[in-house]
Structure 1
Amino acid sequence: MTILDTILETKQHEVRELQLTNLPLRTVGERPRLADSLRASDTLEVIAEIKRASPSKGLIHKDLDAVAQATRYVAGGAAAISVLTDSKYFQGSFTDLEQVAQAVPPPVLCKDFVIDRIQIDAAYSYGASIVLLIVAALDKQDLQDLYHYATAKGLEVLVEVHDEEELETALQLGAELIGVNNRDLRTFTVSLETTERLAKRVSSLPDVHLISESGIESADDAERLSSCGAKGLLVGESLVRSSSVEDALKSLKVRRKVHDTH
């Protein structure tokens, strides 16, 4: 059984618990759309992540204050804030999501392993404007159902892929926001070459916004990913560990090397 399989098994239990929960009424207003920011920008845009721990790295920052970190991210020019809501493996929560969504104005991504509509309902209720759907975690019918369910609620969807077959699935879905995870969720090995390889497939598609995820630690990494056509980066660990969060984030916002044709 892979780590992904183990996580998804845990999610089955969480879904049953969520179905018994009275979700709060959404209290946050409209936010800018991330796709619009990516379309308009001439620099790489950063989705900055609130990340206390992960299965691959263990504990990163146990006492990280989600709102304080999100505020630093906004000061550094983050285009969006990613909030992990998985508690067992990432030490996140829907409370983090709710507090961040109430505290900062950029788009907010609910980062979790979504397998059921109730998780999208929860993301919406607690203030997210974007949800993550991982192609490797879903069969095609469930992916399609969850994608359309989320967009019908007015949420943007970041569709995460890791290889050519998953990318084709995301494109067939009509996804605007495609995240390329440089980490293989089955083995947890990381390579930026994953983004470089898959970016070639979407370079001629101006309405597809490619976001590189995982293993991004420096301005050199950002330059490399910009050169292959990425429009955004999702960065967590290196920012959480940084002694100067704002400067670290600003250093990643390099000028894009490949621009939309229209």
Structure 2
Amino acid sequence: MKKDILHDIIAQKQIELTQQKASVPESALEEMLDGRPADGRSMKKALAESRVGIIAEFKRKSPSKGWINRDANPLEVAEGYVRSKASALSVLTDEPFFGGTLKDLANIRKAVEVPVLRKDFIISRYQLLQAKLTGADAVLLIAAALSPKDCFLLAQEAHNLNLEVLLELHSEEELGHYNEYVDMVGINNRNLGTFHTDVENSFRMAGKLPKDAVRVSESGISSPETIHRLREAGYQGFLIGETFMKTPDPGKALSDFIKRLDL
């Protein structure tokens, strides 16, 4: 029987949330938000209007590969991504499995003007409040980690906080998680149970997605040729992390990648 990594991640996330809420109650987060500007940058608009469409990700490690770039400086990487014309940034904020923190997101937000996505395993309104407080413009909701009802409620609450929603799907069975509060639909080419990656999953799912959805292909994209094919299939966003983060200079790796796109 294959190990279900997603199950382990969610179990750990529930433990973390219990500890965080005991330390800083949800009501305290709400008080911190009171009076703050509500508006954020639109990741949906950035992707729809971009010729590149790359969401460049800051990611130190993964459950399947271990450390990818343990000592990466979030500010240096983010600024390099922006100089290289990333349309948006994704910041992993899960620490045990991906080596990220909310501090990474907060620091990156202060340094860049492009939209920033909080990428985590969000199962609670508490995490949406954290995302808003640290400056995220959008949040990832993962269908495999949520019931359709919980997905709807979290997406609705994200909009109440002026956060855009990227809904991540992997299979046709998860299409029922799509709802009116979803701004972008991501197809994860990585199975979160086994972490096996197959970019063809985006092509299999393309024709099953709502026709007016801003579509994002996630994981396993390592060549410009794949992006050209994905664009032909209707995708406007391309979330890429490991391809850049495994190099000594992720920003330069992105720049070289975009030059090869020959737009």
TM-score by length of 1: 0.89
Q: Secondary structure at the match of 2:98?
A: coil
Task: Tell me how far 1:249 sits from its aligned partner.
Answer: 2.1
Matched, 1:205 2:207: no
Matched, 1:141 2:149: yes
Aligned ranges 1:1-262 → 2 under 5 Å:
2-19=4-21, 20-21=23-24, 23=29, 25=32, 30-41=39-50, 43-170=51-178, 172-202=179-209, 205-206=211-212, 208-250=213-255, 251-252=257-258, 254=261
Task: Tell me how far 1:123 sits from its aligned partner.
Answer: 0.8
Q: More deviation in 224-233 or 241-250?
A: 241-250
Task: Tell me how far 1:205 sits from its aligned partner.
Answer: 1.8
The residue type paired with residue 4 of structure 2 is T
- Mapped contact 2:89–2:117 kept (Cα < 8 A): yes
User: Residues 120-170 of structure 1, C-alpha deviation per residue, up to 9 Å, x if partnerless?
Assistant: 111111111111100000111111111101111000011000011213422
Structure 2 gaps, min length 5: none
User: Residues 45-102 of structure 1, C-alpha deviation per residue, up to 9 Å, x if partnerless?
Assistant: 0111110001011100110101110000000111111111111001100110110111
- Mapped contact 1:222–1:252 kept (Cα < 8 A): no
Task: Tell me how far 1:29 sits from its aligned partner.
Answer: 7.5
Partners of 2:37 and 2:103 lie apart in 1 by: 14
Partners of 1:246 and 1:123 lie apart in 2 by: 24
- Mapped contact 2:152–2:181 kept (Cα < 8 A): no
The residue type paired with residue 249 of structure 1 is L
The residue type paired with residue 47 of structure 2 is L
Q: More deviation in 45-54 or 216-225?
A: 216-225
Partners of 1:30 and 1:255 lie apart in 2 by: 34
Partners of 1:242 and 1:63 lie apart in 2 by: 12
Distance 1:59 1:85, change over 3 A: same
- Mapped contact 1:31–1:106 kept (Cα < 8 A): no
The residue type paired with residue 201 of structure 2 is T
Structure 1 gaps, min length 5: 257-262
Q: Secondary structure at the match of 1:201?
A: coil
Task: Tell me how far 1:30 sits from its aligned partner.
Answer: 4.2
Q: Secondary structure at the match of 2:187?
A: strand
Partners of 1:46 and 1:236 lie apart in 2 by: 10
- Mapped contact 1:73–1:246 kept (Cα < 8 A): yes
User: Residues 192-232 of structure 1, C-alpha deviation per residue, up to 9 Å, x if partnerless?
Assistant: 11100111123x723x1110001111212222222211101
The structure whose residues are more often helix, as a share, is 2
Q: CA RMSD in A?
A: 2.1
Partners of 2:231 and 2:112 lie apart in 1 by: 27
Partners of 1:184 and 1:71 lie apart in 2 by: 30
- Mapped contact 2:58–2:78 kept (Cα < 8 A): yes
Distance 1:155 1:232, change over 3 A: same
- Mapped contact 2:148–2:176 kept (Cα < 8 A): no
- Mapped contact 1:44–1:230 kept (Cα < 8 A): no
Task: Tell me how far 1:243 sits from its aligned partner.
Answer: 4.5
Task: Tell me how far 1:105 sits from its aligned partner.
Answer: 0.7
The residue type paired with residue 228 of structure 2 is E
The residue type paired with residue 90 of structure 2 is S
Q: How many residue pairs were aligned?
A: 252
Task: Tell me how far 1:174 sits from its aligned partner.
Answer: 4.8
Q: More deviation in 173-182 or 78-87?
A: 173-182
